[in-house]
Structure 1
């Protein structure tokens, strides 16, 4: 039989999967925005394999729409894949004591620079602010990315968001983040507003109208034209603030996987696929060996961003988080547009976060 799979509509998300599938899996695609926010229960009702983002796990578990992978693979296999994966990629798909997806692809927010236009990428946020005064610099603010930029900056400033499940961020850090974002955004080229990460990187790669984005999800496919480096730090030697992305491969509850399908997933996680096949087919592997091997295709991309990926912050994964992430991003954009004060936006985000953790307060 042929299984139905859903991934996202970009060469990084589709090409390697399609090349490896043969007649076993027929892969459909959805836009990046669907990958980020479409209800996971609906996708699992229609597909056997789903490429998903780890914050969807809470809603998936609440709906009972995924098959736990520890029911399909041995503990030894799952442990080996975790040990081989870079940073928290494998752990980000574990919840409530079970493994719900494997990290097919690793990505986090890193800095993207046209070094031919502005020279070496800024390493600190003070340097980012200085560069924005003399060259076109933009933040990634479309869809959920305004909030993800906010969280990454908080990490760089020394505070992981939601460390206390009942409190999103301290007032001091939250206001400092919004002030810094406003200082950079006030000089950004208007055509960059509203672009998702793919759009920002295409603008940077195809034109000279955007020279730097300090936090954008890394895409190896743009590496020949754009230089990717570790995310900025607040102080030299500090932690590069970044929010983990990437993709996980999950098996829906509607699927009855055959031995051939399970072997196919095993192969996708194998050293041969991760270090050779995926990179050659424009994929972005999750295996640390691929990120640290100097012979990997586009090895400079991985070498320059490994430190950030290893230290990336993992988002909350409770049911209700996805809606909160979208609403919090809207609050950030309103603050940057001066439609609300920074304090009002911060208070709104914290209230939204508390409501997202309380099912009785969530809006339909």
Structure 2
């Protein structure tokens, strides 16, 4: 018997990250008996942090965070899909992008990953708890502060999530961060963003400085204290009957002072192929299978996945089974801010959140915080220049 072609993949260790990959691999193996696909998992923090060079040396299939795109393209550790997949397929992916998910993996006019998973910070609630307490769902930032005064609000205060939320406050105040060479954000907007952020963080229990988004949701479903999360990367799993002790509903973000809904920072995950793989074409074929409209709206989402194809987000059956998670949060995805992806940005992303966390915990002068961020930012821009 001929030896099977083996592909190894790495994803992150949550039901949303692992189970749809295992399910699609199992079905692909059934359709291609000469192929074996093995998926392993890593923590959410490792998903954001571990060098893509290290992963590409060990695995054929990589589920990646899009800010790695510029770095990976520059290092040539993953291969562009344009060189292997039919243009019609990629055009369908582009036209059916959820927000900027597709373009988030496009760098130097090449597509370095398929957007198999789409996410951004959205609001989450315990509708049963709000009803039992006689509390209304917040619609404005002031409503969130009032609910937080009652001890009913939480969100992730880990450094990476805090940085993404700082970006969100900046965007929601009318200025996108990291668009200038010398500063992260203008002093006027930066100070306002930090002040608003701290006003809310001061009203949240300190245990959430140790919880990532899905740990926040676990806290919400396993206890009866937190009734509302104003922003955290959405996980449709918690909107499905039977997944957790209690059901969460997900919503668009509240409005800020300008009466417009807040603008969050795009997340999600892409499926990339290692340049070191001995079976690039087979890996590409599997990736094409995973990202296809039919698989995304059925097998992928059926097994806990949060698809990246727009048709799946608009599918009536998909929404019926997820308490309308996808239709309720699609507007949030469509206006989400696309993070910088230049070569040195991962250095900034890895460290800047600590500076903002320190301010939220201990206070201080907002300008001092901005000065520290600007220094890190300039260092990251120098890394790009040196590499270029």
TM-score (norm 2): 0.89
2:336 maps to 1:312: yes
Residues 191-200 or 42-51, more deviating: 191-200
Find the counterpart in structure 2 of residue 328 from structure 1. Answer: 352
Match of 1:89?
A: 101
> Quick one: distance in 1 between partners of 2:367 and 2:281?
55
Q: 1:117 aligns with which of 117, 129, 132?
A: 129
Give distance in 1, aligned partners of 2:363 and 2:58.
Answer: 40
Kept in 2, the 8 Å contact 1:55–1:315? The answer is yes
How many residue pairs align between the two structures? 362
Contact 1:137 1:184 (C-alpha < 8 Å) held by counterparts: no
Cα 1:252/1:130, change in 2 over 3 Å: same
Quote how far apart the aligned CAs of 1:355 are: 1.3
Q: What is the CA deviation profile of residues 31-65 of structure 1, one whole-angstrom value per residue up to 9, with x for unaligned ones?
A: 00011111111111111110000001122123221
Which of the numbers 365, 370, 383 marks the counterpart of 1:346?
370
Instruction: Please tell me whether residue 13 in structure 1 is matched to residue 9 in structure 2.
Output: no
C-alpha contact 2:81 2:284 (8 A) present in aligned 1: no
Correspondence for 1:298 among 294, 315, 322 = 322
Q: Residue 239 of structure 2 aligns with which residue? A: 223
Asked if the contact 1:143/1:329 (under 8 Å) is kept, the reply is yes
Q: Find the residue that maps to 1:110 and give its secondary structure.
A: strand
State the distance in 1 between where 2:284 and 2:111 align.
Answer: 15
Is the 1:232–1:241 contact (alpha carbons within 8 Å) kept by the matching residues of 2? no
What are the ranges of 5 or more consecutive residues in structure 2 without an aligned counterpart? 30-35, 241-246
Question: Following the alignment from structure 2 to structure 1, what is the Cα–Cα distance between the partners of residues 128 and 368?
Answer: 40
In structure 1, the partner of 2:193 is: 177
Change (3 A) 1:183 1:235: closer
Counterpart contact for 2:126–2:249, Cα < 8 Å: yes
| Structure 1 CA distance for aligned equivalents of residues 254 and 177 of structure 2 | 17
Contact 2:118 2:268 in 1 (8 A): yes
Conserved in 2, the CA contact under 8 Å of 1:51 and 1:249?
Answer: yes
Separation in structure 2 between the aligned mates of residue 100 and residue 165 of structure 1, nearest angstrom? 25
* Distance in structure 1 (CA, Å) of the matches to 2:322 and 2:164: 26
Taking the aligned partners of 1:15 and 1:6, their CA distance within structure 2 comes to 12
Deviates more, 1:312-321 or 1:226-235: 226-235
SS at 1:79's partner residue? helix
Partner of 1:149: 165
Contact 2:84 2:281 survives alignment (8 Å): no
Distance 2:78 2:284 in 1: 15
Q: CA RMSD in A?
A: 1.8
Cα offset, 1:11, TM superposition: 0.6
Tell me if the contact between 1:140 and 1:149 (Cα under 8 Å) persists in the aligned partners: no
- Asked if 1:45 corresponds to 2:57, the answer is yes
| CA deviation vs aligned residue, 1:221-261 (integer Å, no higher than 9, x gap) | 11141121012221475243110000000001101336543
Q: Do 2:145 and 2:200's aligned partners in 1 also have CA atoms closer than 8 Å? A: yes
C-alpha distance in structure 1 between counterparts of 2:9 and 2:257, whole Å: 44
Long gaps (5+) in structure 1: none
- Correspondence for 1:233 among 244, 252, 255: 255
Where does residue 126 of structure 1 map in the other structure? 142
Name the SS for the 2:327 alignment partner.
helix
| Deviation readout 1:117-171 (Å, 9 max, x if unpaired) | 3344322222211221123222322131110010011111111112334431111
Q: 1:177 to 1:265 in 2, by over 3 A?
A: same
Question: Counterparts of 1:314 and 1:250 in 2: how far apart (Å)?
Answer: 19
Are 2:374 and 1:358 equivalent residues in the alignment? Answer: no
Max Rg structure: 2
Question: 187-196 vs 117-126, which deviates more?
Answer: 117-126
Establish whether residue 107 from structure 1 lines up as the match of residue 119 from structure 2: yes
